[in-house]
Structure 1
Amino acid sequence: MCGGTLEIIPCSHVGHVFRSRSPYKWRTGVNVLKRNSIRLAEVWLDDYKKYYYQRIGDDLGDYGDVSSRKELRKRLSCKPFDWYIKNVYPELFVPGEAVASGEVRNLGGESPSKMCLDSAARKGDYHKPIGLYPCHNQGGNQMCLDSAARKGDYHKPIGLYPCHNQGGNQYWLLSKEGEIRRDEACLDFAGRDVVLYPCHGSKGNQHWIYDEDLRQIKHGISGKCLQMSSDREKVLMSECSQSESNQKWKFANYDPSKVAKDSDV
């Protein structure tokens, strides 16, 4: 962005020496990594920073003064982050192009169960079944799709956990291609559990169709629908039924105008 170059040399190695302890002192309760990542976003991401904040939650806290860093960027005549996306990393999925973003909330039960899809979705922890957990932002029995998957361990079922409205494990994107994704991981169903798997862009097991009127999430290949189990602890795939309340889901920030015209999404 500022005119530098990066050379990839075959068989080269890069070393990083870590200190045994940090030489700096921070106030109790300060998340140093989050604070620094927010400072980076404020200086370099331009309008794209809003997507990062949606992902980590909008409570940014005190990240300090970044005016001198912005002035340095201006003085170096650095290109905008949009240039970086289009020229350096064009294959990156941009959240702004998504049909929906945020929680995937279950609406079943005698009163709305408020369970949401939840997943930590860290690379290396894919292949774990997606879960349902109470939606944290409204407490009680609010449940959202959630996954506590870590890097290198995909294939675990997605779960349901309390919706917390803070992004993180419960922040999902519905792409124009029908992927329900988090970063580079997509919901995948191959006949058993619904798990996280690296997005491949070929639809197949990762193609989902959301019916906004029926509130159903249908799997493209199997024709089955995503459903919360009767004990509200698991995510199942079942034959679609309009009378089954546990198959009712709501995507946050859903925009049907973004659905691709040549897609079944």
Structure 2
Amino acid sequence: MNESLEQEVTHNIRSRSVVPPGDLGTPVQIDLKDNATIAMVQQGLKTFGYNAYASDLMSLRRRLPDVRAAWCREQALVSSRLPPTSIVIVFYNEAWSVLLRTVHSILDRTPDHLIHELVLVDDYSTAAYLKTRLDDYVERFPKVRIVRAPKRLGLIGAKVFGAKTTTTSVITFLDAHVECTEGWLEPLLEVIARNATTIAMPTIDQIDGFTMQLKTDSAPQLVGAYRWDLNFGWWGRAAMKKRYPNPYVPFDTPAMAGGLFAIDRAFFERLGWYDDGFEMYGIENIELSMKSWMCGGRMVIVPCSRVAHIRKQSHPYLDSAGKDVIMKNSLRLAEVWMDEYKQVLYDVYGIPRYFPRYFGSVDGRKAVRAGAGCGSFRDYVRNAFPEMMNPLVPGAFRGEVRNAALSRRYCLTHHWSNHSLSMAVCDKREKQQYWTHNFYHELNNYSRCIEIIASKGYRFVVRRCHRDEKTRTQRWQYVVESGQIKSEIVNQCLAVREGESAITLERCNSSELRQKWLVKFVELDVSIFRYY
């Protein structure tokens, strides 16, 4: 929507409606019976991952309620004693109204002297409206400047690119699709002013990606965490061991979502910024979480700081990636920061070790860790994440899989050309014959898992691992007493077909030698982890 049209729409709305669309965080009402409207809504969802049509109907400076708790509003933070910050926002083909509403919410609800500058980092956007038109728009704001990446850097690289253009002692990162509420910045800066090695994150409220409605909780009840695939998620505070008498004081979190936080520049630099071998988007949040705790710092969520965030239905950084960047970034992190527990992550991906040829050298990142005087991954678990789950399921194994009914010369083999299974002569190459029975109960060979399906009885296929906890079709139990590999959903076991090398499924029978599999169990000290 161009600027003149935006003004016209705003005028028309105000002239006929007491409450503008989305005012005070209310949902935008849309006529979904109109085909033209439906088409525009669908186009926005496809292009941006949210309803840009609804956003365009709202004011760029829409009002939001003060969602802070009364205790937070009563705190007398002397902003003149707080350090000013540079605010860095990376955008890539963001919707015009969403990006500018982010900017206006910052400028309107932040003490001017605390904003040294607001840096908009264009990660090589292709949308024409984000070029000259955006330059012209932000000229009216002396503290806003745009820096443009010379090529597509991805979210991770663009963040570092923008951060290195700043000069303040504190850098604050925000996503390009947020709205800051009253008093959002001061509590973050207060945390860092007290301790420069603490990373401070706001409480993240939600903006509905379809209606643009603001959704908040009266008291923050969540912490950032993850399981052994390093996939970030929100866990309830009640499940954590640390207790806080006051629910509104900053509280420790093992991990961060990644987009919204304030950090001391010198501390970030000592931690090596982000891994420059990471691609595009993903896992940088877990890397920063681990190394902040391991290298003399900590990470907290600040309940008195509230920033609302649109959760996209899709992400342009991942959608445009031509390969599995999450896997690459995860394995780089594991190789550098997880010590002997890195093998757990390799088991999750069904690989025997780190391959520099495919994932890049990490020598430079290991040097960063050594230079920063960091502790061990065990220290991280003890101090920051004692709730982390025991990674070893009963019967966890890795390596070659043999069958008791056949010569030890034969190994379970995944034929990559057609994703079939058979017993073949062991080749010691740790490729098609390398298997892991991992934290997710998979039988995993290089991210391909054996899956049971019901079709005129039961049969198996080998597919990309999906970890669908509802169907559990790729979950298997290794029965240590009998050596059987048994489906977790039906009484079916893997077996060698009698007189052949082919693999089949049979009703489980613990006395049947063809169902007995010989494996090498994982040996790992898991005493620091909690059990299921």
Instruction: Identify the TM-score tier after normalising by the shorter chain.
Output: 0.5 to 0.7
Question: Aligned to 2:415, what secondary structure does the other structure show?
Answer: coil
Paired residues for 1:50-199 under 5 Å: 51=343, 55=351, 73=368, 77=372, 97=392, 99-109=396-406, 113-114=407-408, 142-149=409-416, 156-191=419-454, 192-199=458-465
More helix by share: 2
Change (3 A) 1:241 1:46: closer
**1:69: Cα distance to partner?**
5.1
Does residue 229 (structure 1) correspond to residue 492 (structure 2)? The answer is no
Please give the per-residue CA displacement for 1:69-113, whole angstroms capped at 9, x wherever unaligned. 578546875989969xx9xxxxxxxxx74621112211115xxx2
Partner of 2:520: 252
**1:235: Cα distance to partner?**
0.4
Question: Aligned to 1:168, what secondary structure does the other structure show?
Answer: coil
**1:178: Cα distance to partner?**
2.3
Specify the code of the residue in structure 1 equivalent to 2:466. Answer: H
Q: What fraction of aligned residue pairs are identical, expressed as a percent?
A: 20
Question: Aligned to 1:2, what secondary structure does the other structure show?
Answer: coil
Question: Aligned to 2:478, what secondary structure does the other structure show?
Answer: strand
State whether residues 229 and 235 of structure 1, in contact with CA within 8 Å, keep that contact through their aligned partners in structure 2.
yes
Paired residues for 1:215-226 under 5 Å: 215-226=483-494
State whether residues 2 and 76 of structure 1, in contact with CA within 8 Å, keep that contact through their aligned partners in structure 2.
no
Specify the code of the residue in structure 2 equivalent to 1:198. Answer: R
Unaligned runs of 5+ residues in structure 2 are 1-270, 282-314, 323-331, 356-360, 382-390
Change (3 A) 1:147 1:80: farther
Change (3 A) 1:10 1:71: closer
Higher relative contact order structure (alpha carbons within 8 Å, sequence separation ≥ 6): 1
Question: Aligned to 1:169, what secondary structure does the other structure show?
Answer: coil
Partners in 1 of 2:338 and 2:507 — Cα distance? Answer: 45
Does residue 214 (structure 1) correspond to residue 477 (structure 2)? The answer is no
Question: Aligned to 1:108, what secondary structure does the other structure show?
Answer: coil
State TM-score, norm by structure 1.
0.52
**1:44: Cα distance to partner?**
4.3
Partner of 1:47: 339
Partners in 2 of 1:72 and 1:256 — Cα distance? Answer: 26
Partners in 2 of 1:149 and 1:81 — Cα distance? Answer: 37
Kindly report the root-mean-square deviation, in angstroms, between the aligned alpha carbons of the 2 structures.
4.8
Question: Which of the residues 194, 197, 200 maps onto 2:466?
Answer: 200
Paired positions, count: 189
State whether residues 226 and 237 of structure 1, in contact with CA within 8 Å, keep that contact through their aligned partners in structure 2.
yes
**1:249: Cα distance to partner?**
0.6
Specify the code of the residue in structure 1 equivalent to 2:461. Answer: V
Please give the per-residue CA displacement for 1:206-225, whole angstroms capped at 9, x wherever unaligned. 12122111111111222111
**1:247: Cα distance to partner?**
0.9
Specify the code of the residue in structure 2 equivalent to 1:3. Answer: W
Specify the code of the residue in structure 1 equivalent to 2:411. Answer: C
Answer with 1 or 2: which has the greater Rg.
2
State TM-score, norm by structure 2.
0.29
